[in-house]
Amino acid sequence: MNNYQDTHKHRGLRKTLIDKLKSKGITNTIVLEAINKIERHFFLPLEFEMHAYDDKAFPIGEGQTISQPYTVAFQTQLLILQPNDKVLEIGTGSGYQTAVLNACNAIVYSIERHEALSKKAANILQKIKCKNVFLAVGDGTKGWASKAPFNKIIVTAGAPSVPKILVNQLVEGGILVIPVGDDTKQKMVRLTKLANNELKTEIFEDFSFVPLIGENGWKLKL
């Protein structure tokens, strides 16, 4: 159960969170405004409500987590979003990152492999009146070919390598942000697709995500 009331206290906690994100190096004002706008506590079980604006990850069921706000802000900032960018998100999860992308004026296509999580995220996104958000259930490591190409792609789970199929679904000049490493620690990677399908690769700090499961990710352990 969730609390869909946004009180003065919640708004104050978001302001404190924004100050913390600024102190950790998040400078993009559009990203900061989006995080200040989106009610993170809507996306969490009631027992986590008063901790929703701590800079921490929390479990959301199905062995998945809602990323800590700094991680959401960092990945979103790396995307260098432009108004009406068409963005593919791999791993809808709670829907919080989806909402933040949408609040940055992106048109978001998001894939989640767990149907229960996708349905719950859809309900919350509808409650906060997100527009231009499209959800699907499936193997996100294959991308969303029927909706490609995308200006930006964000992967919210740790991959063993960069799925080539995702790069292929980017426009020229498009950006893919993906954590790459083993199943416990990853480096954040930003790939920019240049002319002639060449790639510019930038590697950033360490993060820890749940594994990216799928045909072009980690295989599901039975």
How many domains is the chain partitioned into structurally?
1
pTM flag (> 0.85)? yes
Determine the Cα angle at 199 with ends 142 and 103, to 5°: 60
Q: Are 102 and 152 in contact (CB under 8 A)?
A: no
Q: Are 154 and 97 in contact (CB under 8 A)?
A: yes
Residue 3 within any structural domain of the chain: no
DSSP SS3 for 173: strand
Q: Are 97 and 46 in contact (CB under 8 A)?
A: no
- Look up the CATH number of the domain holding residue 31: 3.40.50.150
pLDDT at 1 (0 to 100): 59
Tokens representing residue 142 in the block: 């294959």
The boundaries of the domain holding residue 32 are: 8-207
pLDDT at 20 (0 to 100): 98
Query: Which segments of the chain have a pLDDT < 50?
Result: 222
Residue 214 within any structural domain of the chain: no
Which of 23, 67, 94, 161 is an active site residue? 67
pLDDT at 222 (0 to 100): 42
pLDDT at 220 (0 to 100): 73
pLDDT at 44 (0 to 100): 94
Residue 92 within any structural domain of the chain: yes
pLDDT at 197 (0 to 100): 86
Dihedral angle over CA of 194, 76, 113, 2, nearest 10: -170
Residue 220 within any structural domain of the chain: no
How many Cβ atoms sit within 10 Å of the Cβ of residue 161? 12
Q: Where are the beta strands (DSSP E) in the chain?
A: 58-61, 64-66, 86-90, 107-112, 133-137, 150-155, 170-181, 186-193, 199-207
Determine the Cα angle at 52 with ends 46 and 57, to 5°: 105
67 in active site: yes
* Residue 66, CA distances (Å) to 11, 63, 69, 124 in order: 19, 11, 9, 14
Task: Specify the DSSP element, H or E, that contains 207.
Answer: strand 199-207
Residue 43 within any structural domain of the chain: yes
Residue 65 within any structural domain of the chain: yes
Residue 105 within any structural domain of the chain: yes
